[in-house]
Structure 1
Amino acid sequence: MREYVLVLIVAAATTYLLGGVARRFAARIGAVKPIRDRDVHSVLMPRLGGIAVLGGVAAGFVVATHLPFLGMLPEIKEDAWGLLIAGFVIAVVGGIDDVVDLDALTRLAGQVVAAGILVVYGVQLNWLPLPDGTLLSLSPAQSAVISALIIIMMANAVNFVDGLDGLAAGVVFLGAAAFFTYSYGLTVGLSLNRATTATLVTAIMAGACLGFLPHNFFPARVFLGDCGAYLLGLLLAASTISLTGWLDPSVMSSPQNESRSLLPALLPLVLPIAVMALPFIDLLLAVIRRTRAGQSPFAADQKHLHHRLHLELGHSHKGAVLVMYLWAGLLAFGVVVIGLWATWVTASIVGVVVVAAIACTALLPRRNHLPHPR
């Protein structure tokens, strides 16, 4: 655990120190786009904050590979190199888009290349759970295609949710923290090797997001941009795929472990879906909405979930972000708590938090708009 905490701190500190550098660099090269119709801010903002995140991620991986515990496994070193190369590629694609506004096909091509690099380095799904409780072993071709699709979808989902100050970085931090809790808790509970790529990636991601939030939370001084959003989405997908690749489903579903978690063979895939449920729902609704209107699925609008919280329900800019944090954390940690400690007490606690979240979402804006007594 100490080495994971160390790489988290290194990633956070590096990202924080590079935040100002990224902001000044973006302003110098003109990576400051005009304000768009879908934007809710009114001040021109540098959009290359992903450079700082990339620096923090790289520092975290470099330090991890030189530590006596995390650096002793060749699998982690190989995965780290694959993630660094793929992360650099997708960050460059996003960075170019932040500067010159690439077309959708070019962005997709860059994402495919980055996903292909991870696949070549062996970051692939090996199996999928079936409804009848059995497992489907994937062929190399199926594994490569499904893994690449997950990476591309996750990258775009994070980019879709990046619409308010600090929103994407905070949601990914909560998801990474929940995933770290599950991954590390799994190794402890099953008495397995605690040095895993999935746990390392989520620790580094959490640190990078923590280091970036002081620059990005309302009022923001620099945005993640496509550069940072694509990178965080790729890393989150990679942690998911890496965990399922490392995990032996026969161990998880063995009789002696059945009481330790809910649907043990399925949970490693359910957790990332819960972590990114809001972005994925937002992405699906956006595609349906724009297609029905005869527009491109990639067309910009101001009807994302975070926009509706801010513009329609009446939450303040900061309030809308905090509500999204609440729901993201509830979904992510709720799955972890029920999965690792499935009791009626934990289920009841999660239910109470759900009710509180609904109340905060629906009632706080009305309370804020009530006339004050004279």
Structure 2
Amino acid sequence: MGGAGVPLRELGLVLLTAAAITYLMTGPVRSLLVRTGRVAEIRTRDVHTQPTPSLGGLAMFSGFICAVFLAEQLPALTRGFAPVTPEMTAVVAGAFAIVIVGLVDDLYELGALTKLIGQCLAAVLLSFLGVTFTVFFVPFGDGTTLILDQVQGMAVAALFTVVLINAVNFVDGIDGLAAGLGMIAGGAILVYSLTILHDQAGAVSAYPPAIICAALVGICAGFLPHNFEPARIFMGDSGAMLIGLLLAAASISASGKINMSLYGTADFIALISPVMVVGAAVALPVIDLVWAVVRRAAKGQSPATADAGHIHHRLLRLGHTHRRTVLVLYTWVSAVAFGAVSFSIVPVRFAVGVTAIAVVAAALLTAVPLLSSREATGASGRRPRRSGSRRR
């Protein structure tokens, strides 16, 4: 990763700036919300027990904007901005739009349809200004490259963005989960982008996703100390939807603009499309979203109806503590996301081995309550009583 054309120090500075600004801004935002009485009340499906401020997305957006402004001033990263490429301008505009929608929703609770319309407008703005799919490399057969026209690329990009916005928003139901998953998924796509920068000698198309992900990892890392259990502030829809939009933008930029047919078919990186890599990075939130829609439709409910059937709720009911639930989900996302990325940067055998070990570790961590229960039952002849955690 340290080859010529890979601006590691500059991207590291962007990441640290995003983290520092977000961390420092979150405290004042929380204080303002507490003084003005803007706190999230307890709902039946919530796992927290104290009313908590819920506009952390404002601090996260501040960190993102400052990081992007810094990146634009660094000579090594100027290839990621206009006039070379319009993508960063599109991302800033889309991020601003989605944060406005989120802030209004956090303050006044928009209806499901109104919020969806706002999400669609932000997604269309993002794709219209330049973050669109243009090519798909099919890694099977003769390695066909599918070319999308402007309308097709914008439509697919907008739909993908709305799906990811809602996926992250749906999974944001437990302290530290959305911020941690955003940091992990963003880190995986960042590693992938750095691989492309290295292999394609600083390809212009790999600069925007690298910058987006560096800033995304930074704002999530900066917010997490305030949000990890017990959370002192929530990111709210403004923060969760911002993470979803940035993940979508980075994913589209990394997979929709890089022509993988430049690689030889003997190189294993040609066998894993960027779409598969970024798909793995955001697999868990998307699975949870699809599962929620199917579950609610089967009950005759609207897909927007809130419930306590998400993956994190089920892990809590399984017997995991609040923090262990978050760590289990962190482990699964890390195993899948970095497992997929590892195939592009290390030998195949090593990647398979590391991925298999990570998946087994995640599975064992998930099964801890069941294993503990069996051991206790076998020793005493009866199933132990649960203590009744306040977080269940």
TM-score > 0.5, shorter chain as reference:
yes
Tell me which residue corresponds to 2:160.
Answer: 150
Residue aligned with 1:349, SS: helix
User: What is the CA-CA distance between 1:141 and the residue it aligns to?
Assistant: 1.2
Q: Is the 8 A contact 1:176 1:203 kept in 2?
A: yes
| 2: CA distance, partners of 1:71 / 1:196 | 9
Tell me which residue corresponds to 1:93.
Answer: 101
Paired residues for 1:153-164 under 5 Å:
153-164=163-174
Residue aligned with 1:296, SS: coil
User: What is the CA-CA distance between 1:366 and the residue it aligns to?
Assistant: 4.1
> What amino acid does structure 2 have at the position aligned with 1:322?
L
Residue aligned with 1:218, SS: coil
Aligned match of 2:275 in 252, 269, 275? Answer: 269
Aligned match of 2:349 in 341, 344, 347? Answer: 344
Establish whether residue 168 from structure 1 lines up as the match of residue 178 from structure 2: yes
5+ residue gaps, structure 2, are 1-7, 381-392
User: What is the CA-CA distance between 1:368 and the residue it aligns to?
Assistant: 7.5
Establish whether residue 49 from structure 1 lines up as the match of residue 59 from structure 2: no
| 2: CA distance, partners of 1:85 / 1:140 | 19
Aligned match of 1:189 in 191, 195, 199? Answer: 199
Establish whether residue 301 from structure 1 lines up as the match of residue 274 from structure 2: no
Tell me which residue corresponds to 2:20.
Answer: 13
Residue aligned with 2:146, SS: strand
User: What is the CA-CA distance between 1:83 and the residue it aligns to?
Assistant: 1.4
- TM-score, structure 2 normalization: 0.89
Tell me which residue corresponds to 1:198.
Answer: 209
Structure 1's 362 and 325: CA in aligned 2 closer, same or farther, altered over 3 A?
Answer: same
Residue aligned with 2:275, SS: helix
Deviations for 1:321-348, whole angstroms, at most 9, x for unmatched residues?
A: 0000000111110001123324223212
Residue aligned with 2:367, SS: helix
- TM-score, structure 1 normalization: 0.93
Residue aligned with 1:156, SS: helix
RMSD: 2.1
Deviations for 1:172-229, whole angstroms, at most 9, x for unmatched residues?
A: 1001111111110122123234761011100110011100000000110001110001
Structure 1's 199 and 149: CA in aligned 2 closer, same or farther, altered over 3 A?
Answer: same
Residue aligned with 1:191, SS: coil
Tell me which residue corresponds to 2:121.
Answer: 113
Say which is worse superposed, 193-202 or 55-64, in terms of deviation: 193-202
Aligned length: 368
User: What is the CA-CA distance between 1:144 and the residue it aligns to?
Assistant: 1.1
Aligned match of 2:144 in 118, 131, 134? Answer: 134
| 2: CA distance, partners of 1:81 / 1:93 | 19
Residue aligned with 1:4, SS: helix
Task: Give aligned-pair identity as a percent.
Answer: 40
Say which is worse superposed, 321-330 or 333-342, in terms of deviation: 333-342
Aligned match of 2:222 in 193, 196, 211? Answer: 211
Deviations for 1:304-362, whole angstroms, at most 9, x for unmatched residues?
A: 00111012x10000000000000011111000112332422321221122112111111
Residue aligned with 1:272, SS: helix
Residue aligned with 1:340, SS: coil
> What amino acid does structure 2 have at the position aligned with 1:280?
V
Tell me which residue corresponds to 1:333.
Answer: 338
| 2: CA distance, partners of 1:216 / 1:33 | 14
Tell me which residue corresponds to 2:361.
Answer: 356
